[in-house]
Amino acid sequence: MLHSAIIRTCLAVALPLATVGHGTAAQPPSLEMDVKAAFLPKFAAYINWPPGALGAPDEPIQLCIIGRNSFGPGLDEVAGRERIDQHPVQVRRLNSTAEAAGCHIAFVGGTTKESPAKMLGALQGQPILTVTDDRGGADRGMVHFVLKGGRVRFHIDDALAARSNLGISARLLSLAVSVRQRARA
């Protein structure tokens, strides 16, 4: 069931997005963010969390948007429909990483006071899946969204995930444009 959900999301990603970000009126720029919003809560199903990181089975998975928020209310709607195992998904919007306690996934956008690099550094080593995109500059989280061939795609830094004691499933790794591999034991 979870595998079919990610496949449906990938089909949605196949929508042509070539004009997004190029300033043309052919497609609204929000389409790019809608596709990213569809991906964000689904990532949780493909992460192996350290013991106890998710809490009790009915406790929500906290999807945190830290800093610049390019997502509209559609993210709340999409996340509200998701359940990862028995966990509902809850969206929190935060101004800084100082408020990130309890986050499981953090989309890091940067602020006027904190750059994405500084925010990522503050989250490093915690069991939080960090997600970034090209809008925040060159700094990359464990998952980094890009527009490639007119579609929303992502790179994965599995080595960075390993440093936070997170495992990324082979299914998700296979969908990435590129994967920075973790060190082999």
CATH of the domain at 176: 3.40.50.2300
Task: Report how far Cα 76 is from the mean position of its chain's Cα atoms.
Answer: 14
Which residues in the chain land under pLDDT 70?
Answer: 1-29, 136, 185
The whole domain housing 9 covers 2-180
Classify residue 123: in a domain, yes or no: yes
What is residue 8's predicted lDDT score, i.e. its pLDDT? 45
- Encoded amino acid at 151, one letter: R
Classify residue 14: in a domain, yes or no: yes
Cβ atoms of residues 28 and 72 within 8 Å: no
Strand 167-168 with 47-48, pairing: antiparallel
What is residue 70's predicted lDDT score, i.e. its pLDDT? 82
Q: How far is CA 155 from CA 41, 75, 81, 160, in A?
A: 17, 21, 25, 12
Rounded Cα–Cα distance for residues 172 and 47 (Å)? 9
The total number of residues written for the chain in this structure: 185
DSSP 3-state assignment of 171?
helix
Look up the pTM and report it.
Answer: 0.83
Task: Kindly report, residue by residue over 46-65, the tens digit of the pLDDT.
Answer: 999 999 999 898 899 999 99
Rounded Cα–Cα distance for residues 37 and 18 (Å)? 18
**What is the count of structural domains for the chain?**
1
Strand 83-84 with 178-180, pairing: unpaired
Output DSSP code: residue 119: H
Classify residue 185: in a domain, yes or no: no
Classify residue 176: in a domain, yes or no: yes
Classify residue 145: in a domain, yes or no: yes
- The 3 state secondary structure assigned to 70-81 is CCCCHHHHHHHH
